[in-house]
Amino acid sequence: MFLVGAGPGDPELLTMKAAQLLRQADAVLYDRLISAEVLRLVRPGSLLECVGKAPGGRGWTQPQIHQELIALAYRFHTVVRLKGGDPFVFGRGGEEAWALHQAGVPVEIVPGLSSALSAPTVAGVPVTHRGISASVLVVDGHNPDRLEWPMLSGTKATLVFLMAVGTITTIAERLAIFGKPGNTPVAILERTSTAHERVIKTTLAQISQVINVQHIENPAVIVIGETVGVLPSVAELRQGKLSEAVRCR
Ligand code: SAH
């Protein structure tokens, strides 16, 4: 059994190992966020099964997923459990690896590019920058009551929130209450590395309104911190001034 990270969406951002396993697999069990482009790499004729859960919605329970994985391990030679991003970053990959190990199923884990770090990079948002931020905190935003707000508000670390679209109003309020300045730059990175990607830059004070007005939907990564303001947009970065300079000569 291979527990494989699929990266943020663009099939070119898969590891070579992941792409090769998808071409070999007899069965692939995948999550809801896996892109259609990535699934197209799966060998025709192999079993493809979605075990996705919508946020807060009904779907497969974790024990059901474990049972299905174990059953597939008995039925097929090469089984891939494909998870968005990296299997060990908010992916419940640890639980699945443990359940498989307990059941005696050999497991190999293949890392993927986590959206936590790859979405900012794809969007031209550095998460560290010399002299501005020397650390990054990757935070699960879906249950704000569990988070340490004085620490999150006071730190100079760049904050990278996942699963935070539905809770962003509370997150912004708590950060403000504990002293994070309202003008702290924020980047909303929606469906990064897919055809529908959007990058919206705003401030902490404005973020809640922006998310509503722009109808931001899951999945999105929200980056909060001074590094957000360091670079121009990726479109500007791509353009450069070189062509103009060459024309002038
Ligand atoms: N294991 C995954 C994270 C799973 S939690 C990883 O390493 O990326 C699901 C959250 O990931 C979403 O709520 C969203 O915050 C983020 N996410 C996943 N894919 C994304 C994408 N293409 N663009 C922006 N955010 C994404």
pLDDT digits (tens, 9 = 90+) for 155-194: 999 999 999 999 999 999 999 999 999 999 999 999 999 9
The predicted pLDDT at position 121 comes to 98
Beta strand 185-190 pairing with 198-203: antiparallel
- Nearest CA to 50 out of 60, 42, 64, 58 is that of 60
Asked whether residue 213 falls in the same domain as residue 138, the answer is yes
CATH for 70: 3.40.1010.10
* Dihedrals phi, psi of 227, to nearest 5 degrees: -65, -20
Asked whether residue 157 falls in the same domain as residue 208, the answer is yes
Q: Determine the average pLDDT of the residues in 48-75.
A: 88
Indicate if the alpha-carbon torsion angle 173, 189, 220, 197 is positive or negative.
Answer: positive
Task: Confirm if 227 and 125 have CB atoms less than 8 A apart.
Answer: yes
Domain with 167 in it = 115-234
For the stretch 7-37, pLDDT in tens is: 999 999 999 999 999 999 999 999 988 999 9
User: H/E/C letters for each residue in 12-69?
Assistant: HHCCHHHHHHHHHCCEEEECCCCCHHHHCCCCCCCEEEECCECCCCCECCHHHHHHHH
What contacts 208, CB < 8 A, 6 or more positions away? 168, 169, 172
**Catalytic residue list contains 10:** no
Q: Does residue 18 sit within a domain?
A: yes
The CA-based angle 91-48-115, given to 5 degrees, is: 30
pLDDT band at 55 (very low <50, low <70, confident <90, very high): low
CB atoms within 10 A of CB 242: 8
Q: Determine the average pLDDT of the residues in 194-207.
A: 96
pLDDT band at 52 (very low <50, low <70, confident <90, very high): confident
| Chain-centroid distance, C-alpha 163 | 9
pLDDT band at 242 (very low <50, low <70, confident <90, very high): confident
Q: Does residue 68 sit within a domain?
A: yes
Asked which of 55, 88, 110 is the last residue of a domain, the reply is 110
Say yes or no to pLDDT of 216 above 90: yes
CA diameter of the chain: 70
Residue 168 and residue 182: Cα distance in Å, rounded?
14
Residue 92 and residue 145: Cα distance in Å, rounded?
20
Q: Does residue 227 sit within a domain?
A: yes
Q: Does residue 243 sit within a domain?
A: no
| Selected catalytic residue, list 10, 17, 26, 53 | 53
Q: Does residue 240 sit within a domain?
A: no
| Selected catalytic residue, list 10, 31, 83, 180 | 31
Whole-model pTM over 0.85: yes
| Chain-centroid distance, C-alpha 13 | 12
Task: Confirm if 83 and 58 have CB atoms less than 8 A apart.
Answer: no
Asked whether residue 136 falls in the same domain as residue 104, the answer is no
For the stretch 30-51, pLDDT in tens is: 998 899 999 999 999 999 999 9
Beta strand 158-162 pairing with 108-110: unpaired
DSSP calls for 110-148: E----HHHHHHHHTT--S-BTTTBS-EEEEE-S-GGGS-
Say if residue 219 is preceded by a cis peptide, omega within 30 of 0: yes
pLDDT band at 249 (very low <50, low <70, confident <90, very high): low
Say yes or no to pLDDT of 105 above 90: yes
Asked whether residue 47 falls in the same domain as residue 151, the answer is no
**Catalytic residue list contains 31:** yes
For the stretch 110-142, pLDDT in tens is: 999 999 999 999 999 999 999 999 999 999 999
Say yes or no to pLDDT of 247 above 90: no
Say yes or no to pLDDT of 54 above 70: no
**Complete edge-to-edge strand list for the sheet that includes strand 158-162:** 136-140, 158-162, 220-224, 185-190, 198-203
User: Which residues' Cβ are closer than 6 Å to ligand 1?
Assistant: 8-9, 33, 83-86, 89-91, 114-116, 119, 162-163, 189, 191-194, 218-221
Q: Does residue 140 sit within a domain?
A: yes
Q: Determine the average pLDDT of the residues in 77-82.
A: 98
Spacing, Cα 242 to ligand 1 middle (Å): 35
Pairwise pLDDT comparison (36 vs 53), residue with the higher score: 36
Spacing, Cα 11 to ligand 1 middle (Å): 15
Asked which of 110, 129, 153 is the last residue of a domain, the reply is 110
Q: Provide the 3-class DSSP secondary structure of residue 91.
A: coil
The structural domain count of the chain equals: 2
